[in-house]
Amino acid sequence: MSDDMDIKDKAAWDAAERVADYEHGWSSDIETDFAPKGLTEDTVRFISAKKNEPEWMLEWRLKAFASWKTMTPPDWAKLNVPPIDYQDAYYYAEPKAKPKLGSLDEVDPEILRIYEKLGIPIAEQKLLAGVEGGEDGGLPQPRVAVDAVFDSVSVATTFRAELERAGVIFRSISEAIKEYPELVKKWLGKIVPMHDNYFATLNCAVFSDGTFVYIPEGVRCPMELSTYFRINAENTGQFERTLIIADKGSYVSYLEGCTAPMRDENQLHAAVVELVALDDAEIKYSTVQNWYPGDAEGKGGIYNFVTKRALCQGRNSKVSWTQVETGSAVTWKYPSCVLNGENSVGEFYSVAVTNNYQQADTGTKMIHNGKGSRSTIVSKGISAGHSNNTYRGLVRVAPNAEGVRNFTQCDSLLLGSLSGAHTVPYIEVRNPSAQIEHEATTSKISDDQMFYAMARGLNTEEAVTLIVNGFAKEVLQQLPMEFAVEAQKLLGISLEGSVG
Amino acid sequence: MLQITNLHANVGDKPILKGLTLSLNAGEIHAIMGPNGAGKSTLGYVLSGRPGYEVTEGEVTFNGQNLLDLEPHERAAAGCFLGFQYPVEIPGVSNVQFLREALNAQRKNRNEAPLSGAEFLKVAREQATALGMDMDMLKRPVNVGFSGGEKKRNEMVQMGIINPALAILDETDSGLDIDALRIVGDGINRIMRRPDKAVLLITHYQRLLDYVKPDFVHVLADGRITRSGGPELALELERDGYKELAA
Ligand SMILES: Nc1ncnc2c1ncn2[C@@H]1O[C@H](COP(=O)(O)OP(=O)(O)OP(=O)(O)O)[C@@H](O)[C@H]1O
Ligand SMILES: [Mg+2]
């Protein structure tokens, strides 16, 4: 891979080498693009200074960092993760020389291969890869506003004007901290508390950038909002931070998608996503996660420790999480809903694919505090190769939450005989009026199904893709159209080489 | 069109086909009859390339090409169609999606342009209507919750949409009611009774052959063809059974 390391990577790498050699006084030198390797209070100050943050933000970060030093990583997940050396990583990388490439020829061929397999239109490929002119030619329809995060800094935002006319604020979180400090202060860390867990606390200290969305009262966001994440520079931990606020009676659909290039060294990713929905508001949050999963022998790949939580604060508020998780060597992720509002609704639709030596421990928590709150959980786990795939879910009903309902369905599909599927449901009901239903199945792709599809003209890979998509249909159909097609193809790509 | 010479095949370690020789020309319909467990379905699977069905001896050529060298999906693209004795359910995948993907995969294999959604739906609607199948059924998941007869009828709709050169139909008549039998029989004639096509019709009963008149009838017993004749052979079998024949 290092042979075709692109120009930008090389520049960033060189800059890092220079900084790493420079022992003293670096924290005041905010002209550099890289924070040196390692994590100290100075790293935190460097990041904050780089971003010209107000004092309150720096203090918040430092408080988190002080706590983090006293914490230990969670060990309850069914994951086998080697100890991570937090001092052996970079915590901030800004692609100063922006990826202004002349044409797609200059983009990493592996990334292009995946784009092509995904069927992403050329215009959008250019936009994603940061090719000059890609933005003008891009995305006439479907209408998606893209906020691309390259490494740690947002480099492209489109459709901003139209969103502004509707009163929608769609910004990088760094900008929002400066432009809308009151809104940010009101909700940042209120949904996922600073000390929630080891990875969330780490994120508070060193988050690099991310997205901020505010939908004003009564506004239906006029387009899908979308962020594409990519990790570009080697050894750079990714600490995205997202905050979405849906004011009374508003609606927004948000798409988060990732494609990551091949990298040998493990990379840490610890994002925090906070959503809040007030009275009658609705947020639909869809994710396609395709970080580098490591190679067929289990070498390399992203460690993905994500904390995603939604506060359904208002009455009749609704949050729907849909995720298609195909990438990462390790996935630790439980998008949850705290259903405080009366008659509020939480939904979790998930497809998690693991192949080769990937490990996923993912699921949701539905915390029913509001009267009449309802939740639906549909989880589809697909395990191939030597991988392990665990659904872990909690449904909790508070003592004075009358009339709560939950429906949970967990289905596992096994390919081959070496992979594992596990279901760990926790149910804590403290109000007798609750109606809780749980269904679970485990199945295999049968030889009959494979041969039937092949006899009609599909090759092995196409047949697996078709059958797996059928298995995951209930979840995939929750995705916005333009995303669903991409996700279907992604399932096939992730299972390449798993059968036959 | 199809030339099978001295074909031997194992399922697992068990020899099932034991020197089967058969030749089909374009424009011909051949019926294959024979006792349960004789190897009729095995023949269909071997010709379609099912994994686990191992050819140990013999040759099969299809339009001059060595059929046994091809992967199952390549055989489909080359024009071979297998109508299953027991059609398989694929949950969550609609018939429309299944067939469109299958057809376009075949077309891609033949370097033909894919059919658009609209073009495909037109063909699918024509075939479904001709076989008396509701469009709503085409939108349902492949064979899931279909009755036995509906599954067989669905195989014929698939054959109509794919429009193969060679169809191997494994007991397509079993499970059909009297009206469905006629509709399916008419369908086979309409789709496959052409100078450039051929059919291998595996059946236990004369009643299908009343609708689809075979040019030749063969008896498959213990892994090989033990007798061949014209349409009258089927009538004779119906009257006397296989025991009589062997004696
Ligand atoms: N996987 C297998 N392992 C061992 N024997 C098998 C296997 N599959 C099929 N057979 C055997 O092969 C023989 C031929 O089976 P086949 O299904 O081809 O018969 P058939 O002529 O189609 O019968 P029918 O008229 O009942 O459909 C049978 O004895 C069957 O039990
Ligand atoms: Mg049979």
Examine the pLDDT at A156 and tell me if it is beyond 60: no
Residue A259 pLDDT more than 60?
no
Tokens 């379905």 locate to B41
Residue A359 vs residue A495, higher pLDDT: A359
Q: Residue A456: list chain B partners with CB under 8 A.
A: 76, 98-99, 102, 158, 162
pLDDT at A263: 52
- Which pLDDT score, from 0 to 100, does residue A8 have? 39
Please tell me which residue, B183 or A5, carries the higher pLDDT value.
Answer: B183
Judging contacts by C-beta atoms under 8 Å, the chain A residues touching residue B73 are: 454-455, 457-459, 462
Q: Which of B8, B17, B41, B237 to mutate to test the pocket of ligand 1 (most atoms within 8 A of CB)?
A: B41
User: Bigger pLDDT: B227 or A157?
Assistant: B227
Beta strands A336-339 and A318-325 are: unpaired
Digit-coded pLDDT (tens) for A287-332: 988 888 888 888 888 899 999 999 999 999 999 999 999 988 999 9
Mean pLDDT of all residues in A97-112: 54
What stretches of B29-94 show up as alpha helix (H) in DSSP? 40-48, 72-78
Does the pLDDT value for residue A113 go beyond 90? Answer: no
> Rounded to whole angstroms, what are the CA distances from A273 to A194, A312, A345, A457?
12, 14, 18, 43
The predicted structure's pLDDT at residue A112: 61
pLDDT digits (tens, 9 = 90+) for B90-112: 999 999 999 999 999 999 999 99
Closest-CA residue of chain A to B159:
A456
Burial B81-91 (b: 16+ CB within 10 A, else e): bbbbbebbbbe
Distances (CA, A) of A375 to A141, A313, A394, B50, B122: 33, 14, 11, 45, 41
pLDDT digits 0-9 by tens, A387-444: 999 999 999 999 999 999 999 999 999 998 888 899 999 999 999 999 999 999 999 8
Question: Tens digit of pLDDT for each residue in B201-219?
Answer: 999 988 899 999 999 999 9
- The protein residue with its alpha carbon nearest to ligand 1, atom 19, reads B37
Which token pair is A299? 């070498």
- 3 state DSSP class of A85: coil
CB contact under 8 A, A451 and B51: yes
Asked whether the beta carbons of residue A470 and residue B90 sit closer than 8 angstroms, the reply is yes
Q: With an 8 Å Cβ cutoff, is B12 touching chain A?
A: no
Residues A40 and A66: their CA atoms lie apart, in Å, by 10
Tell me, what's the pLDDT at B235? 87
B40 in ligand 1 pocket by Cβ < 6 Å?
yes
Report pLDDT for A162: 76
Q: How far is the CA of B42 from the centre of ligand 2 (A)?
A: 7
- Grade residue A144 by pLDDT with cuts at 50, 70 and 90: low
CATH of the domain at B36: 3.40.50.300
User: Is a pLDDT exceeding 70 seen at residue A224?
Assistant: yes
Top-confidence residue, A459 or A298: A459
CB B171 within 8 A of CB B88: no
What is the C-alpha separation between B140 and B158, in angstroms, rounded?
A: 14
Owning domain of residue B132: 2-246
CA distance B157 to chain A (A): 13
Contacts of B93 in chain A (CB under 8 A): 466-467, 469-470, 473
Residue nearest to atom 30 of ligand 1 (CA): B37
Provide the mean pLDDT of chain B: 93
Q: What is the pLDDT of residue A238?
A: 79
User: Between A224 and A95, whose confidence is greater?
Assistant: A224
Element (H, E) at A41: helix A41-50
- For residue A239, the model assigns a pLDDT of 87
Work out the pLDDT band at A116, boundaries 50, 70, 90.
Answer: low
Residue A235: predicted pLDDT? 38
The total number of structural domains in chain B stands at 1
The closest residue, in CA terms, to atom 13 on ligand 1 is B37
Give per-residue pLDDT as tens, A50-87: 889 999 999 999 999 999 999 999 988 898 888 888 88
Torsion angle in degrees (nearest 10) through CA of A148, A153, A155, A160: 70
Residue with tokens 């069905």: B53
Residue contact A454–B72, C-beta within 8 A: yes
CA distance A75 to A80: 9
User: Per residue in A86-101, pLDDT tens?
Assistant: 888 878 766 444 444 5
Of A148, A112, A107, A114, the C-alpha closest to A9 is: A107
| pLDDT tens per residue, range A331-349 | 999 999 999 999 999 999 9
Kindly tell me if the per-residue pLDDT of A106 is higher than 70. Answer: no
Ligand 1 within 6 A of CB of B16? yes
Residue A492: what are its φ and ψ, rounded to 5°? -65, -45
pLDDT in tens, A178-196: 999 999 999 999 999 999 9
The confidence score (pLDDT) of residue A24 equals 25
Residue A15 above 70 pLDDT?
no
> Does residue A361 have a pLDDT over 50?
yes
CA A430 to chain centre: 32
User: Higher model confidence: residue B247 or residue A445?
Assistant: A445
> Are residues B51 and A456, on separate chains, in Cβ contact within 8 Å?
no
pLDDT attached to residue A348: 98
Q: What tokens were used for A292?
A: 């580098």
Distance B8 CA to ligand 1 centre (A): 14
Q: What is the ipTM of this complex?
A: 0.96
CB contact under 8 A, A449 and B90: yes
Kindly identify which residue of chain A lies nearest to residue B47, measuring between CA atoms: A455
Higher pLDDT: A12 or A494? It is A494
Q: Is the pLDDT of residue A140 over 70?
A: no
Q: Indicate the average pLDDT of chain A.
A: 81
How far apart, in Å, are the Cα atoms of B89 and each of A447, A450, B92, B173? Answer: 12, 11, 10, 19
By C-alpha distance, which of B56, B23, B31, B11 is closest to B235? Answer: B31
Percent of chain A residues past pLDDT 90, beyond the cut: 53
